[in-house]
Structure 1
Amino acid sequence: MFCVVSFIVLSILSVFSAENRSLAREALDCVLRRVTLRPCNTGFDEKMKAKILGFVITKTETGARILNRFFEPLSWMFILLFLGSAFFAVRGVYLFYVTGSCNGLNQSGFCVFDPTGQSNQISNVGESCPVVLPGEDPVSLKGVNLSGFPVLNGDSQKRIVFIGSYGCEYSRKAYPVVRQLAEKSGASFTFLYYPVKESSDLLAKIGYCAYRQDAQKYWSLVDSFFTAERSQIEDEAFIRQTLTEAGYNPETIAFCANDPQTEWAVKKQLAEVVKTGFFGTPTVFIQNEVLIGPKPPRVYAIALDGLLYWAR
């Protein structure tokens, strides 16, 4: 087993040093012979063992004696540690590719590929942004009535539901990615607006009225709110200008937004959003997956179309 450990270590070292390449070749020959239940004919294992013991004995005679006695078990221990480390390293790379985190979907533990945790940060409901995921709270669409919310491609079998806030930087980062994925794949895209960072539900009322007046123009309006400066989105003059540019009559929309029936309908919609159990934005439901925080584009695509999303 020692020759296996040596081969792995020397193979890595030989990339940076020509001196170790001949030793790596000897180690490989030893490994191949041990696999076929033959002894090493180069004496490689004994040669390397002598070098190691010779170095250790100059530091501590007791340590050298112990090492000599348990050399083979220690070799097994190191190979098992290497295999374990390799397994978790490969697992971490796979999970990062599929979920955006080395620890799994919506897990906020440290990840070497995402040290700042950007893929799992959200604007927490009622608190300032950013906030790291609090844990595995149950979040689902079970029992939620989505019939009154804005939707594109409503007859598609693929489904994407996006909960976002115009004022949350993480929602602003995720929205265009998810929206583009829905357009490219032809998936049903439902938008659930929730004012996490905004001071009131005014934009919810405006969106409610705009969608019912003209569902096609509505999406242009949403795009404008997500791309505008965060300091502008609640400014009355900016809202009127944005409505005009989207093709709406600001006066008509304002009259609708002030209607008590609109206020009742919007409060009912916001209550439906709360039913999902979400604790921050963005929260995205894709097929049977719940993705919390702004994930890399590939993660959304994999959740929708699988690992071979790029081939579809």
Structure 2
Amino acid sequence: MFCIIAFIVLSILGIFSASNRQLAREALDCVLRRVTLRPCTTGFDEKMKAKILGYVITRSEAGARFLNRYFEPLSWIFFFLLVGSTFFAVRGVYLYYTTGSCNGLNQGGFCVFDPTGQNTQFSGVDESCPVSSEGNVLNLTLEGVDLGGFPKLAGNPNAKSIVFIGSYGCDYSRKAYPMIRRLAQKYGAELVFLYYPVKEHSDYLAKVGYCAYKQDPQKFWDLNDRLFAADKTRLEDEAFVQELLKASGFNAQSVQFCAKDFQTEWVVKQQLAEVRKTNFYGTPTVFIRNEALVGPKPYRVYAIALEGLLYWLK
């Protein structure tokens, strides 16, 4: 097993050193012979063992005796450590590519490819945009949730469905929303939008959204895009929202009148109650094929969840 470890290490070192490339070739020959149950003809294993022992004995005679006595068992130990570390390294790369985290979907913890943890952060439901990374993922569900009254962008026949729970005022939702819109458009997926006020101090925008969608479902999506792209410090300024309504082609006064209606208030409260049935604990939360993704993931993660690993071929 020493030959295998030496071959891997020397192959890497050989990138920068011609002498190490020669040793790597000898190590490879030794590996191939050991695999076919033949002894090394180059004496590579003994040569390297002598070099290591020569280095160790100048520092510790007892250490050299121990190493000489248990050289083969120690080689096996290092081999299994190498295999184990390689497995976990490959697993981490795969999970990062498919979920945005080295530790798996919606899992916090340090990831060398995402040291700031931005792919697992979200805005907590009862707080003002905190930096969070974990929650009760197992409880997330669409079962029993009535999506009938929420804005829906139709997709292709038999299209897959995407359900996006987001807040206009929080950066994480604002980061994820354009990716979800682009994903739905590219693959013809059905998109259902569930607004939930996390940082906003009232359900005012929920009422405006309900009335705008009721007035014109197609124009609603232009308004939704503008709300996610607008200056978030002005989102609860009624005059500013009226400007956005007009820019999207709505009768702003009619929408504002509807938003202040008692019936609208009752409907919006029912809708927010439906959102809470998902047991979501932060925004954005995206359901794709009934799989929940919490926090702003890279675009590829959403695409893989929707279309599979080979999404880029479709």
TM-score by length of structure 2 reads: 0.97
Report the counterpart of residue 88 of structure 1 in structure 2: 88
Report the counterpart of residue 142 of structure 1 in structure 2: 143
Give the drift of 1:260.
0.6
Give the drift of 1:71.
0.2
Q: For residues 42 and 207 of structure 2, what CA distance do their matches in structure 1 show?
A: 81
Q: For residues 248 and 152 of structure 1, what CA distance do their matches in structure 2 show?
A: 18
Q: For residues 40 and 282 of structure 2, what CA distance do their matches in structure 1 show?
A: 61
Report the counterpart of residue 233 of structure 1 in structure 2: 235
User: What's the C-alpha RMSD, in Å, of the aligned pairs?
Assistant: 1.0
Report the counterpart of residue 194 of structure 1 in structure 2: 196
Q: For residues 295 and 156 of structure 1, what CA distance do their matches in structure 2 show?
A: 25
Confirm or deny: 8 A CA contact 2:135 2:281 kept in the other structure: no
Report the counterpart of residue 243 of structure 1 in structure 2: 245
Amino acid at match of 2:294: I
Give the drift of 1:156.
4.0
Alpha-carbon displacement from aligned partner over 1:190-211 (angstroms, at most 9, x marks no partner) = 0000000101000000000010
Query: Where does structure 2 lack aligned partners over 5 or more consecutive residues?
Result: none
Alignment of structure 1 residues 122-137 onto 2, 5 Å = 122-137=122-137
Report the counterpart of residue 3 of structure 2 in structure 1: 3
- 3-state DSSP of counterpart to 1:285: strand
Alpha-carbon displacement from aligned partner over 1:227-255 (angstroms, at most 9, x marks no partner) = 00111111111111111111111211111
Q: Which moved more, 1:169-178 or 1:29-38?
A: 29-38
Report the counterpart of residue 108 of structure 1 in structure 2: 108
Q: For residues 221 and 140 of structure 2, what CA distance do their matches in structure 1 show?
A: 26
Amino acid at match of 1:281: T
Q: For residues 102 and 144 of structure 1, what CA distance do their matches in structure 2 show?
A: 31
Alpha-carbon displacement from aligned partner over 1:19-67 (angstroms, at most 9, x marks no partner) = 2111111111111111111111111111110110111111111111110
Alpha-carbon displacement from aligned partner over 1:8-29 (angstroms, at most 9, x marks no partner) = 1111110111121111111111
Give the drift of 1:128.
2.5
Amino acid at match of 1:36: T
Q: For residues 30 and 185 of structure 2, what CA distance do their matches in structure 1 show?
A: 57
Amino acid at match of 1:23: L
Amino acid at match of 1:116: T
Percentage of identical aligned residues? 69
- 3-state DSSP of counterpart to 1:291: strand
Alignment of structure 1 residues 66-81 onto 2, 5 Å = 66-81=66-81
Confirm or deny: 8 A CA contact 1:156 1:188 kept in the other structure: no
Query: Where does structure 1 lack aligned partners over 5 or more consecutive residues?
Result: none
Confirm or deny: 8 A CA contact 1:156 1:186 kept in the other structure: no
- 3-state DSSP of counterpart to 1:132: coil
Report the counterpart of residue 152 of structure 2 in structure 1: 151
Give the drift of 1:79.
0.8
Report the counterpart of residue 220 of structure 1 in structure 2: 222
Report the counterpart of residue 276 of structure 1 in structure 2: 278
Q: For residues 81 and 125 of structure 2, what CA distance do their matches in structure 1 show?
A: 43
Alpha-carbon displacement from aligned partner over 1:107-152 (angstroms, at most 9, x marks no partner) = 1111111110111111111213232223334111011000000001
Report the counterpart of residue 45 of structure 1 in structure 2: 45
